């Protein structure tokens, strides 16, 4: 009887001590994820829109004039989103880190190459390594097109 009561006390103390630690670490994890995802998600959405415009143009759904104006608009938005991501990484709004314009061009080029060889995920826009059969980010099956001998 006394033994059982002792165990209950030990359990109660353990819960009281561990609970704030568990809750605290989870809360800080969630906050970090939220901060990461907002600017990062915006950037990803912009790049996906760029990729879609590229795809529509290649499929002949967009004529070249429409494609160029749409692309310029989306590229400006993607650049702004990238600046937000960089500012976030740099730690605060006071550190103004502007990514070089070629950083965006490199991302577009990578998305374009991924679209061509089928490694860019159709669901989330993640660029996967060549030869990937499934998206490393969301697990979506990748539709590999073109030559399979690469």
- Judged by the rule CB under 5 A, the positions of this chain that interact with Zn ion are 121, 123-124, 126, 135, 137-138, 140
Q: In the beta sheet, which residues pair with residue 141?
A: 134
Of 68 and 133, the one with the shorter C-beta distance to Zn ion is: 133
Quote the least distance from Cβ 71 to Zn ion, whole Å: 23
Quote the least distance from Cβ 136 to Zn ion, whole Å: 8
Q: In the beta sheet, which residues pair with residue 134?
A: 141
Of 96 and 116, the one with the shorter C-beta distance to Zn ion is: 116
Of 70 and 128, the one with the shorter C-beta distance to Zn ion is: 128
Of 55 and 67, the one with the shorter C-beta distance to Zn ion is: 55
Q: State the Cα–Cα distance between residues 76 and 82, nearest whole angstrom.
A: 10
Quote the least distance from Cβ 120 to Zn ion, whole Å: 9
Q: State the Cα–Cα distance between residues 97 and 4, nearest whole angstrom.
A: 61
Query: Which residue's structure tokens are 């704030």?
Result: 20
- Other Cβ atoms less than 10 A from the Cβ of 36: the count is 13
Q: Could you give the count of Cα atoms lying within 13 Å of 63 in the half-sphere of its Cβ?
A: 1
Of 27 and 130, the one with the shorter C-beta distance to Zn ion is: 130
Quote the least distance from Cβ 51 to Zn ion, whole Å: 12
Number of helical H runs and strand E runs in the chain: 3, 0
- Other Cβ atoms less than 10 A from the Cβ of 73: the count is 13
Query: Which residue's structure tokens are 């080029």?
Result: 109
Quote the least distance from Cβ 107 to Zn ion, whole Å: 16
């Amino acid at each position: 009887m006394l033994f059982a009561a002792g165990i209950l006390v030990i359990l109660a103390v353990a819960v009281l001590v561990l609970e704030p630690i568990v809750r605290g670490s989870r809360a800080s994890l969630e906050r970090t994820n939220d901060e990461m995802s907002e600017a990062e998600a915006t950037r990803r959405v912009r790049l996906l829109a760029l990729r879609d415009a590229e795809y529509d143009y290649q499929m002949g759904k967009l004529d070249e004039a429409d494609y160029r104006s749409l692309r310029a608009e989306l590229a400006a938005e993607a650049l702004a989103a990238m600046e937000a991501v960089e500012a976030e990484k740099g730690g605060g709004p006071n550190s103004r880190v502007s990514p070089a314009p070629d950083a965006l061009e490199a991302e577009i080029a990578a998305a374009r190459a991924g679209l061509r060889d089928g490694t860019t995920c159709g669901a989330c826009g993640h660029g996967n390594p060549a030869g990937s059969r499934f998206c490393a980010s969301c697990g979506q099956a990748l539709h590999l097109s073109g030559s399979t001998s690469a």
